[in-house]
């Protein structure tokens, strides 16, 4: 047995009104080992982690149990420390990597200054030595150009580079414990693998204990030595990674492992956690019936794109003229057949979202054509294009930011009907909203609730209901399930499949998740640096990819699968 750097013993976290959020949670992490904490949103994972460093929200508190940190043979009960003493430990003996570096990093401070600030709080060191230390840290976390990153603002770096800055900041004072809270969420598979490898290298070289929080089973299987499963505020199962993955005991754990889309085969439907909890797990049928409808529609092209190009302005001259621009879409050609699910994959910054937005006139294009049902829509003015907006709808990645927090969800859906179904009376519109809420698995009573009253999965259902309101034929889903827990992801993917069959929908499904593409899409396009580099049936590409980049995406996905 090694030295236990962290010990949580029967931790209880309650709201100020007495509601229990975390109940008797216990886990321990030895020096040099990674402990994975898995669970869906709201299970208490992040609260448990935040309690270690005294960062719980004001309306929450630790009401029972102990949090023990052992550094250099000295054991400290963290929950008993006053705020000034816990501050001396936070960022020093315990490093913390947050989920979204863009919101965790100060947008108006250069990255180097932010890491310097973290060091200066705990150590007295000259400005010259500080910069030298930060450059060394940036080299250690493998930022491509440490000097450039030092002087850059967060928005000037990619998502993966920002996460590396966060890691550099977290390890800047050589902590005994590193807490990583969803550090790879919403990153593409190649960047995810790089971040996992980096954290693994750092814990080995610095002999750190790591608490790695995630809802991604592939990531956890790759990095963790031990795992705890959290469900509704309780840790229901703990064991080595091998034991949990090979022989799970709890029904919830079995469901969690089963509802991840497989990479090695196509199945008709994903099992859900509730199936296992209810004791009636449905078998995921091998084979695939997706292409049956496509045979009937094989010659009916719904959307055709030819030589499409687009640019983003990067800088302007004194007179407002563009002096520098970025070529985001490069001569894009593809078709979408009615009734199919067409996947679009690629790394962050490859142009996937820009292509989806261009189809709906949400960004301007420079050249090329977009034809929908034989009509040239790319050159239409907004007034002309408005009638097509009811036929082509968009589901965004983050449902919370795409819903107005001050408007009830029923009214948000009703707004769409007022624009696209203006002939409907008030009562008929409300009936239609109730019908849409039921269609996506919600209740009529949800009409009068606000977005913050729903979980992430429920908000995504609301956004889907809103997209369905004008009776569309074609829906662009932009990373619609990427930020969802694997359990909620399975429910949304099954819902989208059902809607496709029942309503005759066609999808362009933009994602970085290769397993989701394998399950959901009939055909797929692979995008890199603004160009389409490969296209074809999903089965064929997974079994015989022709481009080296596609091969690397599939290999990375298999490694994390």
- pLDDT by residue for the chain (561 residues), tens only, comes to 678 999 999 999 999 999 999 999 999 999 999 999 998 878 899 999 999 999 999 999 999 999 999 999 999 999 999 989 999 999 999 999 987 787 789 999 999 999 999 999 999 999 899 999 999 999 999 898 999 999 999 988 887 889 899 999 999 999 999 999 988 876 778 888 888 999 999 999 999 999 999 888 888 999 999 999 999 999 999 999 999 999 999 999 998 888 889 888 888 889 888 888 777 665 555 555 555 555 556 679 999 999 999 998 888 888 888 888 889 999 999 999 999 999 999 987 789 999 999 999 999 999 999 999 999 999 999 888 988 999 999 998 778 788 999 999 999 999 999 999 988 999 999 999 999 999 999 999 999 999 988 877 888 999 999 999 999 999 999 988 887 888 888 999 999 999 999 999 999 999 988 999 999 999 999 999 999 999 999 999 999 999 999 999 999 888 876
Instruction: Judge if 550 and 451 occupy the same domain.
Output: yes
- pLDDT computed for residue 288 by the predictor: 54
Instruction: Judge if 421 and 510 occupy the same domain.
Output: yes
Torsion on CA atoms 117, 119, 120, 122, rounded to nearest 10: 130
Output the pTM of the full model: 0.83
Is 17 inside any structural domain? yes
Instruction: Judge if 13 and 145 occupy the same domain.
Output: no
Domain total in the chain = 3
Is 372 inside any structural domain? no
Is 282 inside any structural domain? no
Q: Which domain holds residue 351?
A: 339-364+387-560
Is 278 inside any structural domain? no
Last residue of a domain, one of 249, 272, 292: 249
Last residue of a domain, one of 188, 216, 249: 249
- Which CATH number covers residue 200? 3.40.50.300
Instruction: Judge if 424 and 533 occupy the same domain.
Output: yes
Instruction: Judge if 198 and 120 occupy the same domain.
Output: no
Instruction: Judge if 192 and 134 occupy the same domain.
Output: no
Is 160 inside any structural domain? yes
Residue pair 60/13 in contact (Cβ under 8 Å)? The answer is yes
Instruction: Judge if 111 and 243 occupy the same domain.
Output: no
Instruction: Judge if 465 and 526 occupy the same domain.
Output: yes
Please return the burial class of 236, using the count of CB atoms within 10 Å of its CB with bins 0-12, 13-18 and 19+: middle
Instruction: Judge if 38 and 167 occupy the same domain.
Output: no
Sheet strand arrangement including 226-231: 94-97, 177-181, 209-214, 34-38, 226-231, 234-240
- Burial per residue of 31-59, b for 16 or more beta-carbon CB atoms within 10 angstroms, e otherwise: bbbbbbbbbbbebbbbbbbbbbbbebeee
Is 261 inside any structural domain? no
Instruction: Judge if 454 and 531 occupy the same domain.
Output: yes
- pLDDT computed for residue 231 by the predictor: 93
SS3 state of residue 176? coil
- pLDDT computed for residue 287 by the predictor: 54
SS3 state of residue 408? coil
Instruction: Judge if 70 and 35 occupy the same domain.
Output: yes
Last residue of a domain, one of 218, 249, 280: 249
How far apart are the C-alpha atoms of 508 and 338, rounded to whole Å? 11
Phi-psi region of 104 (alpha: psi -120 to 50; beta: other; left: phi over 0): alpha
- pLDDT computed for residue 296 by the predictor: 59
Is 374 inside any structural domain? no
Is 489 inside any structural domain? yes
- How far from chain centre, in Å, is Cα 129? 37
Instruction: Judge if 434 and 536 occupy the same domain.
Output: yes
């Amino acid at each position: 047995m090694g030295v236990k750097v962290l010990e949580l013993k029967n931790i209880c976290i309650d709201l100020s009104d007495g509601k229990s959020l975390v109940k008797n949670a216990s886990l321990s992490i030895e020096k040099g080992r990674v402990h994975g904490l898995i669970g869906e949103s709201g299970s208490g994972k992040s609260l448990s982690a935040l309690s270690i460093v005294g960062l719980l929200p004001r309306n929450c508190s630790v009401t029972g149990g102990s949090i023990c940190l052992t550094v250099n043979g000295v054991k400290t009960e963290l929950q008993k420390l006053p705020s000034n003493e816990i501050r001396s430990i936070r960022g020093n003996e315990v490093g913390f990597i947050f989920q979204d570096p863009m919101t965790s990093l100060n947008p108006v401070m250069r990255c180097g200054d932010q890491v310097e600030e973290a060091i200066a709080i705990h150590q007295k060191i000259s400005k010259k030595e500080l910069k030298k230390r930060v450059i060394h840290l940036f080299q250690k976390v493998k930022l491509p150009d440490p000097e450039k990153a030092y002087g850059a603002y967060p928005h000037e770096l990619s998502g993966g580079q920002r996460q590396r800055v966060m890691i550099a900041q977290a390890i800047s004072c050589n902590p005994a414990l590193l807490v990583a809270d969803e550090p790879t969420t919403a990153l593409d598979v190649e960047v995810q693998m790089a971040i996992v490898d980096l954290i693994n290298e750092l814990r080995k070289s610095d002999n750190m204990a790591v608490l790695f929080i995630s809802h991604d089973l592939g990531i956890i299987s790759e990095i963790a030595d031990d795992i705890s499963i959290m469900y509704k505020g309780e840790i229901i199962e703990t064991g080595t990674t091998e034991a949990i993955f090979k022989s799970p005991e709890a029904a919830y754990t079995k469901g969690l492992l089963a509802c991840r889309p497989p990479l090695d085969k196509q199945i008709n439907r994903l099992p859900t956690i509730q199936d296992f909890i209810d004791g009636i797990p449905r078998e995921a049928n091998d084979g695939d019936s997706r292409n049956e409808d496509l045979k009937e529609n094989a010659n009916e092209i719904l959307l055709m794109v030819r030589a499409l190009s687009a640019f983003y302005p990067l800088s302007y001259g004194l007179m407002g003229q563009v002096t520098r621009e970025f070529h985001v879409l490069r001569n894009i050609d593809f078709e979408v057949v009615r009734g199919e699910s067409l996947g679009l994959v690629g790394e962050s910054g490859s142009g996937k979202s820009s292509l989806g937005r261009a189809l709906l006139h949400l960004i301007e294009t420079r050249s090329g054509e977009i034809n929908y049902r034989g009509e040239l829509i790319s050159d239409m003015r907004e007034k002309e294009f408005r009638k097509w907006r009811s036929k082509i709808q968009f589901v965004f990645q983050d449902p919370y930011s795409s819903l107005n927090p001050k408007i009830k969800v029923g009214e948000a859906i009703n707004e769409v009907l007022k624009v696209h179904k203006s002939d409907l009376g008030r009562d008929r519109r409300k009936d239609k909203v109730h019908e849409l809420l039921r269609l996506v698995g919600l209740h009529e009573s949800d009409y009068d609730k606000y977005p913050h009253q729903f979980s992430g999965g429920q908000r995504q259902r609301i956004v889907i209901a809103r997209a369905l309101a004008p009776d569309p034929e074609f829906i662009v889903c932009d990373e619609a399930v990427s930020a969802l827990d694997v359990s909620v992801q399975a429910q949304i993917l099954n819902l989208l499949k059902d809607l496709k069959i029942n309503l005759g929908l066609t999808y362009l499904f933009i994602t970085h998740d290769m397993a989701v593409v394998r399950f959901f899409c009939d055909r797929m396009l692979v995008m890199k640096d603004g160009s389409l580099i490969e296209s074809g049936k999903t089965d064929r590409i997974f079994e015989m990819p022709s481009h080296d980049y596609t091969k690397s995406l599939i290999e990375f996905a298999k490694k994390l699968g």
